[in-house]
Each structure stands twice: as structure tokens, then as C-alpha cells.
Structure 1
């Protein structure tokens, strides 16, 4: 009888660890990335050194290279590795602005879904109860209109990409809403970076580094802000409608 009671007591603990395991694996991957020094290896300098071999391999194995790029991009997003800008530029360079944008968006969305599912399995009431004021400021937006708010956050990165992924899980955004808004919301910014990446070969020939500040140029930033404001219209309308009904 005592043995059975002990087993029953262990079950909630085991179940809790199983819920946290996916998130712990992703966190371990990030720690390992820095521990083995990959952040010092995967750089623009390394790309400049090996770009001829890389371009030749992609040319010979285009379909495989495209699939591998999507998988690797999904992995770097899932593990929150600080390589997104470099990888997006490389995608634009290797596959062109249009195809590179499509592949990057597919990989980024897949990786973001992996983070979302991992966080949702662990999040529950525990993470929600411990969400600090930084996450708390996001909660009202998610509650009013999750789709509208998520598109806004993807278009204008007010909060880090990984934080939006986890917050969406904490605040119980439906998976379909999360996936669709992520896919649509990151297209404009990704297209800008891939367009810059399409000219990466010439930049490397001149021994230069791509100017990523281009995204802050008025002709690019203003349309992005306009799209972001447009995405908030449904949420603002719901708020106005609620306020109007409350005054009746």
C-alpha cells in the first residue's frame, strides 16, 4: 500500500518534468551554442572565406540546399540563436530575394511554432503566475484581439521575437492564430533583409559588411509602421465598440 502511495506521489512530479522537458532542451541548445564557441565561428568573416564553396554546393544541390536552409533556420529560431540576421541575408544571397523570403518565412514560422508548443507544454499556470510586469504589459493586447496584436508585434519588433513566442503560449493564443499571424507578420521585414542579402556577394567582394540599418530608412520603415497601425484597427474597433456599449 505504501509503495502504491509513493508511486502516486511521484506521478505529478514526473508529469511536471515531462511538460518542462521541451523547453529545457531548447534552453540547453542555446547554452551549448555559446559553450562550444559557435557564435565565434558562424560570422560574416567565415562566410567571406567559404562563400565560393558554399555557392558552388548550393548550385549543384539546389533543392536539398533549400530544404536544409529551412530546417536550419527553423532550428536557429527554435533555439533562439543570435544568427537570424546573418541567416536571412545568406538566404537572400543564395536563393534570391523572392525565393529567399519564402524559405526564410517558412523556416522562421516553423521554429517559432516549436518554441510556442514547448512553452505551452511548460507554461500553464506556473509560468503565467510568475510572468513579470514586462510580460504583463503584453497581456491586455493579447486578450483584446490576439490576431491583431500579434501581427503588430511581428511587423514592429517592440519585443524580442523569442519573447513574443513564449508570451503567446503563456496567454493561451490558439495555435492556428499564432502560426498564421507569425507567417504573415514577418513577411515584410524578411523581404527587406533578403533584398539586402541578394546583393551580399558584391558587399563581400568589397570587403564590407552589409548595412542592416537600411530597415530604419524612412522609405522602408514608414510603410512597415503603416502596416503595423493598420493591423491594430480591429483591436481598436473592438475597444471602441466595448466602450460604446458600456456607456449605454
Structure 2
């Protein structure tokens, strides 16, 4: 029973949707154990990166930093090219650890990591590497959000979260098609989808399949551009009209079965 002055439902109260509690600005949204779990995940990534660093040859690694521009990325590419052939395992482990870490904690810049995969490993190996790492990072984010995501999302994006939950509830019978559509097209940010999916009860097997399959087209576009990294002037050059139109066409095809089933019912 709903109490006046207490928590209020943000949508249909009988559908198990999210409740918006009265604001308490002084209260941190995570408990001690939730913070401890998140810190443990961060520590495991840090230890992995330290292990990779210790096994690399002695050299000046001042160039090793997360790229924030195409210039940073070109400098990183120029230095790593000389290591990739002789220290392939270390470079791969370091690349995968950084990529998955960035995806898990929603750190911007994975587009530069995808470009780097194309520059270092070529199209086919690069696409496979990006898709596998993006799926692993999204899965890591999914399970971490399942543990600590609800209070954070409810305080940061309550309206967007309610909207996403309503859309998922409407398309429950064809949820894979809808999730594929979201992955292929820029309708919702991928980072938001990763964090919100467990909160709105998207099953993991559907989340995994939609992520693994749906990220392939965009990964191909980005990795292919990484081969001609020196010709790029800005990140905006990655997605021209032809590329965006192709991605939307793939998204429309993926969501068509859902639209047909709704019209027939």
C-alpha cells in the first residue's frame, strides 16, 4: 500500500517497477560492503596491469597512458608497434585488461582502443579482439551493476531508467531483437545499457548475445579506420553518412520481427 509522503511509484506500481524514494542528499548511495566489492574489482585490474608492466623489458614507458585524442593514439601506436611482434602476449594481456577495465567502469575512450586494435592487429584480428573485449567488459559491468547499480542509477538517471524498463517490459517476448537494435544503433548509450540491463531484468543470455552480435558492425567500422589512423583528422570522421545509414539499416532489420509480432497480436 502506498503511503502519502513516503516513497512514490515512478510507473505502474503493480508491475514491479522502480520506486523513487524521497531524496536524501546527505546519504551515500552505496553500503560499505558494496564499496568493498567494487574496490576489489578495481584492485584485481590494477594487479593485472602491474603484472604486465613487470614482465615488459626495461624501457621508457612514459608514452603509456589512456589516449584522449588522435595525437595521443598515434604516439601510443608508434611505440607499441615495436613491442607487438616481440612481446605479443604482454601487449595482448595489457590491451585486454585496459579495455575490459574501461568498459566495466564506464571510462570514456574505448573508441580509441578500438582504433588501436586495427592499427596493431589488422581488421580481422582487431574486430575479434574488440568484440571479445567489449563483450567481456559489458558482462563485467552487467554483474557489477547487478550488485551495486540500482542505487547509483536511481540517483543519476531515474527517468531514463524508468523509460528503459517500460520499453523492455513491452518487448519481453522479442527482447533479443530489441536489444540488438539498441546495440547496433545509437538510440541509447552502450554504457547505460550495460549498467541498466540487470536492473530492468534483462536476462544475461539475451544481454550477452545482443552485445556479442550487435557490436560487430560498429567494431568493424572503427577497427578498419584504425588501419589508416594517420589519415583521420577527428573521431567524427569514423562515422560518415554511409556508415551511420548502414548501422541504422541493420538495426531496423533486427527489430522488424518485434514490430511484426506486435501488429499481428
In 2: Cα distance, 1:40 partner to 1:99 partner: 21
Structure 1 residues 139, 24: closer, same or farther in 2, change over 3 A? farther
What SS does structure 1 have at the residue aligned with 2:107? coil
CA offsets per residue over residues 103-136 of structure 1, 9 Å max, x none?
0111111011111101112356x67876622222
In 2: Cα distance, 1:41 partner to 1:188 partner: 23
Corresponding residue for residue 212 of structure 2 = 183
1:65 aligns with 2:91: yes
| RMSD between aligned residues | 3.0
In structure 2, stretches of 5+ residues that fail to align are: 1-29, 44-63
Answer 1 or 2: which has greater helix percent: 1
In 1: Cα distance, 2:92 partner to 2:260 partner: 41
In structure 1, stretches of 5+ residues that fail to align are: 1-14, 29-37
If the length of structure 1 is used for normalisation, what is the TM-score? 0.74
In 2: Cα distance, 1:106 partner to 1:146 partner: 22
In 1: Cα distance, 2:240 partner to 2:180 partner: 19
What SS does structure 1 have at the residue aligned with 2:106? coil
1:217 aligns with 2:241: yes
If the length of structure 2 is used for normalisation, what is the TM-score? 0.70
**1:190, CA displacement in angstroms?**
0.7
In 2: Cα distance, 1:223 partner to 1:97 partner: 18
Between the two proteins, the alignment pairs up a number of residues equal to 213
Structure 1 residues 165, 22: closer, same or farther in 2, change over 3 A? farther
1:163 aligns with 2:192: yes
1:117 aligns with 2:120: no
Counterpart mapping for 1:88-107 below 5 A: 88-107=114-133
Structure 1 residues 190, 172: closer, same or farther in 2, change over 3 A? same
What SS does structure 2 have at the residue aligned with 1:137? helix
